[in-house]
């Protein structure tokens, strides 16, 4: 039951920024049984899978597969503002770089997923927009999130022992 709840909390926290999964994991480490290495591996893996399921929705929205609410998208009826035009030009340059160097996208997604800078929700949308392959996004994001959550569980668990 703990793993299923963790999966659900991880999914929702991927979509709702004010729900912090790291705090939830810290609570599991503090108030749960003493976690061994395998417990940390399993708990962080479940948390990573739940988070990536949620972030996949951001990725698919960036790709255009999911339709965003009207207030979050540009309908193209009116010309974009100069600010949006500059952002679109920068995005096009980055897309060229990513296409020329696939490892760049993998590293960028993995670093954001593990460190959180830039925010992984933003990177998820950008990865979809820049047409990063789904498998690359999923694997790099999953490994980065897994490392992040294992670190949180290990540090909090070690500090309470």
Residue 83 confidence class, pLDDT cut points 50, 70, 90: confident
Residues 6+ apart with CB under 8 A from 51: 10, 11, 13, 14, 21, 145, 149
Bigger pLDDT: 67 or 151?
Answer: 151
The dihedrals phi and psi of 46, each to the nearest 5 degrees, come to -65, -45
Bigger pLDDT: 79 or 82?
Answer: 82
Residue ranges with strand state E in 38-160: none
Q: Helix or strand or coil: residue 29?
A: helix
Residue 31: its pLDDT value, please? 85
Residues 6+ apart with CB under 8 A from 131: 63, 95, 98, 99
Q: Is 48 exposed, middle or buried (0-12, 13-18, 19+ CB in 10 A)?
A: buried
Residues 6+ apart with CB under 8 A from 13: 19, 20, 21, 24, 50, 51, 54
Q: Are 50 and 89 spatial neighbours (Cβ–Cβ below 8 Å)?
A: no
Q: What is the pTM of this model?
A: 0.83
Copy the structure tokens of residue 31.
């108030």
């Amino acid at each position: 039951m703990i793993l299923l709840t963790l999966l659900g909390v991880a999914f929702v926290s991927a979509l709702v920024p004010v729900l912090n999964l790291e705090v939830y994991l810290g609570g599991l480490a503090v108030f749960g049984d003493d976690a061994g290495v395998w417990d940390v591996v399993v708990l962080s893996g479940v948390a990573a899978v739940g988070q990536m399921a949620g972030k996949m929705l951001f990725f698919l929205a960036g790709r255009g597969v999911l339709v965003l609410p009207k207030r979050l998208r540009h309908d193209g009826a009116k010309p974009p503002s100069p600010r949006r035009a500059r952002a679109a030009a920068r995005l096009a340059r980055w897309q060229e770089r990513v296409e020329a160097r696939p490892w760049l996208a993998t590293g960028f997604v993995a670093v954001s997923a593990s460190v959180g800078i830039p925010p992984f929700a933003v990177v998820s949308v950008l990865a979809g927009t820049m047409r990063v392959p789904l498998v690359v996004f999923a694997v790099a994001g999953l490994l980065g999130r897994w490392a992040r959550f294992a670190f949180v569980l290990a540090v909090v668990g070690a500090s309470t022992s």
